Amino acid sequence: MGVISDFPEDIWQAAVAARAGVTDEYFDDHCALVIARALLAERNRTITMMLARSNKLRGATLRLRRDALTNRIETEKARF
């Protein structure tokens, strides 16, 4: 095939054998499904990472606000 595989040899050979046993029409449809699933998985992974980053930043902002408020309260207490 000319493709360097990142998969274990036995898995790759099973995939090659499976490909040899199907029609081109089935293979084309199956390829489209595999690509669509991979794209959907990547999009979901990207969205999850963006949400996690957003939540992390939101948490950091809330901690900074809480710390600033705590410092202000302590400063006011010290004045009296």
Total domains, the chain: 1
Q: From its phi and psi, is residue 2 left (phi > 0), alpha (psi between -120 and 50) or beta?
A: left
Give the pLDDT confidence of 30-77 residue by residue, as tens digits: 888 888 888 898 998 898 888 888 888 888 888 888 888 888 888 888
The domain of 29 spans 25-79
47-50-55 Cα angle (round to 5): 125
Report the predicted TM-score, pTM, of the whole model to 2 decimal places.
0.47
Is 14 a member of any domain? no
Angle at 35 between CA 10 and CA 6, to 5 degrees: 30
- With respect to residue 57, please indicate whether it lies within any of the assigned structural domains: yes
Given 3-state DSSP classes, what are the helix, strand and coil percentages for the chain, each rounded to the nearest 5?
A: 85, 0, 15
